[in-house]
Amino acid sequence: MSMKKIIGITGGALLALFSAQTALADETLKVGLSAPMSGAAAAWGLGFEYAAKQAVEKVNSEGGIKAGGKTYMLELHAYDNKYNAAEGAKTAQTMLNRENIKFIVGSIGTAPVRATQALSERQGVLLFNTGWGKSIKGPDYPLTFTQMNTPFEILGPFFGYIKGQHPDLKTVAMITPNDATGQEVEPVAIETWNSLDVEVVSTDRYERGTTEFQSIATKIANSNPDAVDFGASPPADVGSIMKALDVLGWDGIKVVAPGTSAGTLSQMAGQAAEGTYLGASADFQGDSASEAQRTLNEGAVKEVGESLNAITISSYDAVMALKKAIETADSIDPKKVAETLPTIIFESSYGPAAFGGKDVYGSPQQILIPVMITQVKDGKAVEVGRVAPEELKERLK
């Protein structure tokens, strides 16, 4: 074989190899995200987007997702749903019809999630979401998965812990936004409080976007409950109500089940936020946090100015679940991936996690991760209790 031939064959082989590698790396898988990035709940959306970006970068830097003999690099498309149904529908239209996205790795707010779901289920798109409504998942919505704990997972252990800490707690007043999230949380919360022999003395709803809370604070302070349950209210609203309650001299137990952003809460309410129990926050700086959570949290504080919490970190976990499910299914068909999700155990930011909850929802579409109970101390969320779901313990055996 002449030298010319050898060079020619070697060159051709190298070119073919290079072309093949380029072709493999060129496959892009778009993933969507819909969350409030402006308004009272903006702290959630911005942290949510940050965590999703980190997960996408991690997946891509580790070689992407492999399925069907191809390698896919993720590309994140994030949109502001302003925490309402109209914007949720708009962002869904953009993701599904303009960007042709087949996997939504995070959506915040029951109302915008429902609006998104109306399209995603019909168009065969997999939807991860943080919606707190029970009716959002189940056999009728096979492509919808919840990526964080909801009232059905949180309220039992959360309220139980508070009652344990305050045995004299007998009455609670409840205030929650008048939207899908608030309306679905309220009955579950009332039932849970009642099961603990705590009477719910009043329940009030307000419209999102409200800026004046004096009348409701007056009503609560006048009924003088042992505790106030702020329902599904976002941090800025909770801060305003707490401030108004403080002025009126009420100083009882403050309970925020979706309580997440201790920083925003303390910034808004100052000293009045101290001692507040948070059900969806997390102490990602504390001893119980994983290495991944610590790193993510440090980055979020630098970039977003707020610690991560159970809501915001859930987009990271959704991306990790998606990667494992696609690779296990060996397909990027959303239906096959959805069928695979309940069968896998994946590495979430909390450690090994899975999807379950068939007993509660009728099908296994709920992420199984620990419930963390935190309390605001010196303006920061400090973990005071942690409960792992029994179903996850069984799966990990």
Partner 1 sequence: MELQVQLLMNTLQIGSVYVLFALGLTLIFGVMKIVNFAHGTFFTAAALIVSSVMIWGVGTMGLSIWLSYILAFFLALAVVCLIGFIVYIFGFQHFLKDLNGSFILSIGLLLLLNGTYLILYGGVPRSIPTVVPGVVTFLGASLTLQRLLLMIVAAVITLGLYILVHRTKLGLSLRAVAEDQEAAMLQGIPFRRVALYGFLIGATLAACAGALMATVTPVTTVIGDDFLVKAFIIIIIGGLGSVVGAIIGGLLIALIESFGGYYFDPSTATLAMFVLVIVLLIVRPQGILGHAEK
Task: Judge contact between 169 and 198, C-beta under 8 A.
Answer: yes
Q: Which stretch binds partner 1 (CB under 8 A): 18-26, 202-210, 288-296, 319-327?
A: 202-210
Q: Name the DSSP letter for residue 97.
A: I
Is 183 near partner 1 (CB under 8 A)?
Answer: no
Give the span between the Cα atoms of 367 and 378, in whole angstroms: 31
Is 174 near partner 1 (CB under 8 A)?
Answer: no
Is 216 near partner 1 (CB under 8 A)?
Answer: yes
Task: Judge contact between 339 and 222, C-beta under 8 A.
Answer: no
Neighbours of 205 (CB within 10 A): 15
Residues 324 to 383: which contact partner 1 by CB under 8 A? Answer: none
Q: Please say which residue, 292 or 308, places its beta carbon nearer to partner 1.
A: 308
Name which of 28, 128, 129, 22 is nearest 75 in CA terms: 28
Is 385 near partner 1 (CB under 8 A)?
Answer: no
In the numeric block, which tokens belong to residue 4? 């010319």
Helix 214-223 vs helix 235-247: crossing angle, to nearest 10: 60
Q: Please say which residue, 116 or 264, places its beta carbon nearer to partner 1.
A: 264
Q: Site mask, partner 1, residues 285-324, x = CB under 8 A?
A: -------------------xxx------------------
Q: Name the DSSP letter for residue 138.
A: S
Size of the site for partner 1 (CB under 8 A): 41
Neighbours of 46 (CB within 10 A): 22
Is 218 near partner 1 (CB under 8 A)?
Answer: yes
Contacting residue, 111, 268, 310, 320, with partner 1 by CB under 8 A: 268
Give the span between the Cα atoms of 96 and 84, in whole angstroms: 18
Closest distance of CB 54 from partner 1, Å:
19
Give the span between the Cα atoms of 25 and 150, in whole angstroms: 38
Closest distance of CB 216 from partner 1, Å:
6
The full DSSP string for 239-257 is HHHHHHHHHTT---EEEET
Task: Judge contact between 259 and 277, C-beta under 8 A.
Answer: yes
Neighbours of 347 (CB within 10 A): 15
Contacting residue, 5, 22, 197, 249, with partner 1 by CB under 8 A: 249
Q: Please say which residue, 82 or 163, places its beta carbon nearer to partner 1.
A: 82
Q: How far is CA 131 from the centre of its chain?
A: 8
Closest distance of CB 221 from partner 1, Å:
9
Residues 26 to 45: which contact partner 1 by CB under 8 A? Answer: 36-40, 42-43, 45
Q: Please say which residue, 203 or 328, places its beta carbon nearer to partner 1.
A: 203
Q: Please say which residue, 210 or 290, places its beta carbon nearer to partner 1.
A: 210
Closest distance of CB 215 from partner 1, Å:
3
Determine phi and psi for 290, rounding to 5 degrees: -80, 170
Closest distance of CB 7 from partner 1, Å:
56
Q: Please say which residue, 94 or 203, places its beta carbon nearer to partner 1.
A: 203
Q: Which stretch binds partner 1 (CB under 8 A): 61-69, 90-98, 157-165, 246-254?
A: 246-254
In the Cβ-directed half-sphere of 286, how many Cα atoms lie within 13 Å? 19
Name which of 311, 187, 190 is nearest 259 in CA terms: 311
Contacting residue, 132, 141, 158, 206, with partner 1 by CB under 8 A: 206
Give the span between the Cα atoms of 356 and 365, in whole angstroms: 6
Closest distance of CB 207 from partner 1, Å:
6
Residues 78 to 137: which contact partner 1 by CB under 8 A? Answer: 80, 82
Give the span between the Cα atoms of 46 and 43, in whole angstroms: 5
Site residues, partner 1 (CB under 8 A) = 36-40, 42-43, 45-46, 80, 82, 178, 203-207, 209-216, 218-219, 222, 236, 239-240, 247-249, 264, 267-268, 270, 304-306
